[in-house]
């Protein structure tokens, strides 16, 4: 992961820099939210994510007038995914503010006292582990579980009722005498032992292996088929509530006790503390027992015990004033760096990886750490044999923070980055140029398709979820097939000829380790299913540099059919100026992408690979879905501004594009329509000035018939 650019201290930012930075942070946080909440695949550690949010907030506090309508501080998480029916929460599901240092906890307690004008009076707080799972709202009417929903964006979540009903910790029926409406909230999570077993099963079946228990819990709960959830060992801790037609207690502790009486599982480490000292003491106790709990926690949550005080304290934007999450610091350890290994990515990028003497960091054994690129190695001056400080934060790959210089062996020499690729071809390595022509940090193998390492990575990309999404084929299988002497798979087309080469009778595959007759048959069926593919997936799967999913979609939409895209790409490769101009005119396609496409299709070897693949796609390549041309907004340029309350920004944008409109970020004379929500500012004013039509969210929904 690239090291972030040095940051200008918030106090030194000019308004223009602040505005740009807020825009960047909003986009970056939204990307992380989507990855975390929707894809269950976080891109950064919790600590880095929190740092982004904190910086965003600090800038907003200094420049309140620059706060964006889509400010991340007003949002929790990402909108619900498209697969599940949506449930609007009767009471929003909010997030917690974070504390990192002890002083933050002292400040929190002081704020509470000041807000309530309590002077030095004693305030009782509950303290309990912050479970690293996903929160869920369980709604009971007349004592029966009627609905269960994930948090989603805090306002609307996903309906996972059937799935939740399979969790043994969740009672389906509550005892007599409970209030008519009860909403219990808590965390769905997976224990360490169950997680390990599940991954073992997944690995054996060639299915997705989860990165950590949280992702496994999220992936298991959000299954469209509840029977799959039932087979996953999920658990639930109750710790909060939503709508209640009557309150069984007057304190936080009393409420959670009531939940226990009703049959919910509550966390055994929940205590009542009467001072900041007691809170911090409990924090240390929980931290000390962290590794032996059997499930992941990432901090301790403190909540004001008295509910009338909670009520008075209320909320600030996305989190309650009466609670805080005291996070654990990223975990560190020292160990010895045995070696530096070079890994080769799909596009030939060489990534140095530190091979470490295995060491336990926060309960997880770490034996690899990323070193990013040669510049990072030089910056750290890390050498073989060095004792290094390793940090593991959240889910990300462990990092090396520095070298313990006093422990450096006398014979240790500075590391020299290889000038040839470690692949069997030993192709020369080049230093990549950045977009501005400057020397970049990344070194690349120039072997391209001749390089077996790159070929394997390319195959991995080809079968991945957003590309051909072939079930049952993951990293392990690719490795296995790539070097298999009987049934080698060296390029995408080879996958499609596997069955035929296996004489269709599973003779060879069946005898191979880990391949029963059924799993081989299943594999062939999964591959066959992908003989029909959408144009955008195909374009993405080709693995052209700089052509990600969005770019592939733009290309697919613009060219419509494989034949048209292919002809254009070949023409660009041949230096056809007109073809290039046409490609340049496509939304979101620029010089870098065009050059990459040109280079890819200029390579004879690539052309053959593509040709052989397309021959196998006997079910046909589905033309791209054309944006509609017969809707009220087709061909119009639309700007969304202000807060949307019923749709997420992303949803509104996707919907507009589906209906054939173009969504733009700024208002100009070319804008046809502005959809403005509460808090709309300069864009709305500009629209008025230019006489552009302005409607609100409800009118937009009415117009588009959602
Ligand atoms: S209380 C209004 N208690 O942390 C606040 N949350 O960062 C209600 N979490 O969405 C949440 N353990 O997913 C609370 N003991 C605990 C928790 C907990 C984990 C999660 C929960 C929440 C997130 C907020």
Q: Is the CB of 306 inside a 6 Å radius of any atom of ligand 1?
A: no
Looking at mean pLDDT, say which of 317-326, 472-481, 504-513, 651-660 comes out highest.
Answer: 317-326
Query: Would you say residue 512 has pLDDT above 70?
Result: no
Distance CA 290, CA 284 (A): 10
Query: Would you say residue 439 has pLDDT above 80?
Result: no
- By alpha-carbon position, which residue is closest to atom 17 of ligand 1? 130
Query: 541, 558, 519, 595: which is closest to 207 by C-alpha?
Result: 519
Strands 399-403 and 387-392: antiparallel
Burial of 5 (0-12, 13-18, 19+ CB in 10 A): exposed
671 versus 271: the higher-pLDDT residue is: 271
- By alpha-carbon position, which residue is closest to atom 18 of ligand 1? 130
Cα–Cα distance list, 665 to 46, 402, 497, 668, 695 (Å): 29, 42, 47, 10, 16
Query: Would you say residue 5 has pLDDT above 70?
Result: no
Q: Is the CB of 95 inside a 6 Å radius of any atom of ligand 1?
A: yes
- By alpha-carbon position, which residue is closest to atom 21 of ligand 1? 135
Q: Is the CB of 36 inside a 6 Å radius of any atom of ligand 1?
A: no
Query: Would you say residue 471 has pLDDT above 70?
Result: yes
Q: What is the token pair recorded at 388?
A: 């290094």
Q: Say what the pLDDT of residue 1 is.
A: 36
Query: Would you say residue 310 has pLDDT above 70?
Result: yes
Looking at mean pLDDT, say which of 43-47, 187-191, 399-403, 498-502 comes out highest.
Answer: 187-191
Query: Would you say residue 436 has pLDDT above 70?
Result: no
Looking at mean pLDDT, say which of 152-161, 310-319, 355-364 comes out highest.
Answer: 152-161
Q: What is the mean pLDDT of residues 120-143?
A: 95
Q: Say what the pLDDT of residue 396 is.
A: 55
Q: Is the CB of 96 inside a 6 Å radius of any atom of ligand 1?
A: yes
Q: Is the CB of 392 inside a 6 Å radius of any atom of ligand 1?
A: no
134 versus 592: the higher-pLDDT residue is: 134
For residue 98, report the distance from its CA to the centre of ligand 1, in Å: 11
Helices 192-204, 213-221: inter-axial angle, 10-degree rounding: 70
Q: Say what the pLDDT of residue 513 is.
A: 63
State which of 133, 187, 188 you would mutate to test the pocket of ligand 1, scoring each by most atoms of that ligand within 8 A of its C-beta: 187
Q: How many CB atoms lie within 10 A of CB 449?
A: 19
Residue entry with tokens 């997944």: 202
Instruction: Say if CB 483 and CB 453 are below 8 A apart.
Output: no
Query: Would you say residue 706 has pLDDT above 60?
Result: no
Work out the pLDDT band at 207, boundaries 50, 70, 90: confident
Sign of dihedral through CA atoms 487, 490, 494, 495?
positive
- By alpha-carbon position, which residue is closest to atom 10 of ligand 1? 95
N- to C-terminal Cα separation, the chain: 39
Give the pTM: 0.50
State which of 73, 76, 95, 324 you would mutate to test the pocket of ligand 1, scoring each by most atoms of that ligand within 8 A of its C-beta: 95
Q: Is the CB of 131 inside a 6 Å radius of any atom of ligand 1?
A: yes
Q: What is the mean pLDDT of residues 655-678?
A: 84
Looking at mean pLDDT, say which of 103-112, 214-223, 679-688 comes out highest.
Answer: 103-112
DSSP strand E in 80-150: where? 86-88, 98-99, 125-131, 134-141, 144-150
Strands 693-695 and 319-320: unpaired
Q: Say what the pLDDT of residue 437 is.
A: 60
Instruction: Say if CB 358 and CB 433 are below 8 A apart.
Output: no
- 28's enclosing H/E stretch is helix 15-33
Q: Say what the pLDDT of residue 174 is.
A: 97
State which of 92, 127, 135 you would mutate to test the pocket of ligand 1, scoring each by most atoms of that ligand within 8 A of its C-beta: 135
Strands 297-304 and 271-273: unpaired
Domains of the chain: residue spans and CATH: 10-75 (1.10.287.610), 98-327 (3.30.470.30), 331-446 (2.40.50.140), 448-530 (1.10.150.20), 534-622 (1.10.150.20), 637-704 (3.40.50.10190)
Nearest-atom index, ligand 1, CA of 128: 15
Distance CA 197, CA 528 (A): 30
For residue 19, report the distance from its CA to the centre of ligand 1, in Å: 31
- By alpha-carbon position, which residue is closest to atom 9 of ligand 1? 130
**Poorest-pLDDT segment among 48-57, 110-119, 148-157, 532-541:** 48-57
Q: Is the CB of 135 inside a 6 Å radius of any atom of ligand 1?
A: yes
Q: Is the CB of 128 inside a 6 Å radius of any atom of ligand 1?
A: yes
* Sheet of strand 662-664: strand arrangement: 662-664, 637-641, 673-676, 693-695
Work out the pLDDT band at 76, boundaries 50, 70, 90: low
Helices 577-584, 591-602: inter-axial angle, 10-degree rounding: 140
Q: How many CB atoms lie within 10 A of CB 532?
A: 12
| Cβ-based neighbours of 685, under 8 Å, separated by 6 or more | none
How many residues does the structure list for the chain? 706
Q: Which of 67, 83, 86, 130 is catalytic?
A: 130
| Cβ-based neighbours of 15, under 8 Å, separated by 6 or more | 63, 66
Q: Is the CB of 325 inside a 6 Å radius of any atom of ligand 1?
A: yes
Reply yes or no on whether 130 is catalytic.
yes
- 203's enclosing H/E stretch is helix 192-204
Q: Is the CB of 132 inside a 6 Å radius of any atom of ligand 1?
A: no
Ramachandran category for residue 704: left, alpha or beta (phi over 0 → left; psi -120 to 50 → alpha): alpha
428 DSSP β-pair partners:
420
């Amino acid at each position: 992961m690239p090291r972030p650019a040095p940051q200008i201290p918030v106090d030194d930012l000019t308004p223009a820099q602040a505005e740009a930075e807020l825009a960047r942070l909003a986009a970056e946080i939204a990307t992380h939210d989507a990855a975390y909440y929707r894809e269950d695949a976080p891109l950064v550690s919790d600590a880095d994510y929190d740092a982004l949010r904190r910086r965003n907030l600090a800038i907003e506090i200094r420049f309140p007038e620059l706060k964006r309508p889509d400010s991340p501080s007003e949002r929790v998480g990402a909108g619900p995914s498209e697969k599940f029916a949506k449930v609007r929460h009767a009471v929003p599901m909010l997030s917690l503010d974070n504390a990192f240092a002890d002083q933050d906890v002292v400040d929190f307690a002081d704020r509470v006292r000041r807000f309530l004008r309590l002077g030095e009076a004693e305030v009782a707080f509950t303290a309990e582990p912050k479970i690293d799972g996903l929160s869920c709202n369980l709604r009971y009417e007349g004592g029966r579980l009627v609905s269960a929903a994930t948090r989603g964006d805090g306002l609307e979540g996903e309906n996972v009722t059937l799935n939740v009903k399979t969790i043994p910790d969740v009672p389906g029926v509550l005892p007599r005498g409970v209030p008519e409406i009860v909403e219990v909230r808590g965390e769905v999570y997976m224990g360490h032992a169950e997680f390990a077993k599940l991954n073992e099963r997944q690995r054996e079946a060639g299915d997705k292996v989860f990165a950590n228990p949280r992702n496994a819990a999220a992936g298991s709960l959000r299954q469209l088929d509840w029977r799959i959830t039932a087979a996953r060992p999920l658990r639930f801790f109750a710790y909060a509530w939503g709508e209640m037609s009557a309150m069984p207690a007057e304190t936080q502790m009393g409420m959670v006790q009531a939940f226990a009486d009703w049959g919910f599982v509550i966390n055994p480490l929940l205590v009542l503390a009467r001072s900041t000292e007691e809170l911090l003491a409990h924090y240390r106790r929980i931290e000390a027992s962290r590794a032996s709990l059997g499930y992941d926690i990432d901090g301790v949550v403190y909540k004001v015990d008295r509910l009338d005080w909670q009520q008075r304290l209320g909320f600030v934007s996305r989190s309650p004033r009466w609670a805080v999450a005291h996070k654990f610091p990223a975990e560190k350890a020292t160990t010895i760096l045995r070696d530096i290994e070079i890994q080769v990515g799909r596009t030939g990028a060489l990534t140095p990886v530190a091979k470490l003497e295995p060491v336990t960091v926060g309960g997880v054994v770490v034996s690899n750490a990323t070193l990013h690129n040669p510049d990072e190695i030089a910056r750290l001056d890390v050498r073989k044999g060095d004792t290094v400080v390793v940090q593991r934060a959240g889910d990300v790959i462990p990092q090396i923070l520095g070298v313990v210089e006093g422990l450096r062996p006398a014979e240790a020499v500075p590391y020299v980055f290889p000038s040839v690729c470690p692949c069997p071809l030993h192709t020369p390595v080049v230093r990549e140029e950045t977009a501005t022509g400057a020397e970049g940090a990344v070194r690349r193998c120039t072997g391209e398709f001749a390089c077996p390492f790159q070929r394997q990575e390319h195959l991995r990309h080809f079968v991945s979820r957003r590309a051909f999404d072939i079930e049952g084929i993951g990293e392990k299988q690719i490795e296995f097939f790539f070097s298999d002497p009987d049934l080698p798979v060296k390029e995408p087309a080879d996958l499609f000829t596997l069955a035929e080469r296996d004489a269709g009778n599973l003779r060879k595959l069946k005898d191979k380790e880990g391949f029963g007759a059924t799993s081989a048959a299943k594999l062939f069926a999964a591959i066959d299913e992908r003989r029909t593919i959408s144009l955008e997936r195909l374009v993405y799967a080709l693995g052209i540099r700089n052509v990600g999913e969005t770019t592939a979609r733009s290309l697919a939409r613009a060219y419509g059919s494989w034949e048209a895209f292919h002809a254009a790409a070949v023409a660009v490769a041949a230096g056809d100026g007109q073809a290039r101009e046409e490609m340049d005119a496509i939304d979101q396609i620029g010089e870098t992408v065009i050059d990459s496409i040109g280079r890819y299709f200029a390579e004879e070897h690539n052309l053959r690979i593509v040709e052989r693949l397309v021959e196998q796609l006997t079910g046909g390549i589905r033309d791209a879905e054309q944006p509609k041309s017969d809707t009220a907004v087709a061909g119009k340029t639309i700007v969304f501004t202000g807060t949307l309350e019923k749709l997420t920004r992303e949803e509104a944008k996707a919907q507009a594009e589906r209906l054939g409109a173009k969504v733009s970020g700024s208002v100009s004379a070319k804008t046809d329509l502005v959809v403005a929500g509460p808090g709309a500012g300069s864009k709305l004013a500009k629209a008025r000035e230019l006489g552009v039509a302005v409607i609100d969210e409800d009118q937009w929904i009415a117009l588009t018939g959602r």
